[in-house]
């Protein structure tokens, strides 16, 4: 993960921007569920690509399904960044 996204608030803001870019509605917030906002599997693929490009994080598709809001994905990414690798 890129250094500028080590802070949860920065990660969440970046993820909200990605959600808005992919889904378009501006009224999305940190607790907006991707699927309740009309997200499809194509949107999940776009989000995975954007998260990789913007944040330097490689996600699995199922991680988006399991953490379908910017806030929950941000918390997950923060926790997984502190797990031992290997």
- Give residue-wise pLDDT tens across range 53-68: 999 999 999 999 999 9
Residue 72 placed within a domain: yes
Domain span at residue 26?
3-81
Q: Is residue 16 part of a domain?
A: yes
86: in domain = no
Looking at the predicted structure, is the pLDDT value of residue 36 above 70?
yes
Q: Residue 13 domain-assigned?
A: yes
Give how many domains the chain has, as a whole number: 1
Within-domain flag for 24: yes
Q: What percent of the chain has pLDDT over 70?
A: 94
Q: What three-state secondary structure class fits 25?
A: coil
CATH code at 37? 1.10.1200.10
Residue 81: phi and psi, rounded to 5, are -70, -20
Q: Is residue 40 in some structural domain?
A: yes
Contact 34, 47 (CB under 8 A): yes
Q: Which secondary-structure segment (H or E) carries 5?
A: none
Question: Average model confidence (pLDDT) for the chain?
Answer: 91
Within a domain: 60:
yes
The Cα–Cα gap between 20 and 7 comes to: 20
> For residue 86, is pLDDT > 50?
no
């Amino acid at each position: 993960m890129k250094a500028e996204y080590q802070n949860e608030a920065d990660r969440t803001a970046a993820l909200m921007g990605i959600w808005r870019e992919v889904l378009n509605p501006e009224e999305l917030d940190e607790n907006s569920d991707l699927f309740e906002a009309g997200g499809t599997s194509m949107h999940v693929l776009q989000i995975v690509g954007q998260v990789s490009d913007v944040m330097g994080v490689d996600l699995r598709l199922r991680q988006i399904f399991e953490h379908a809001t910017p806030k929950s994905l941000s918390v997950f990414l923060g926790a997984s960044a502190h797990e031992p690798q290997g």
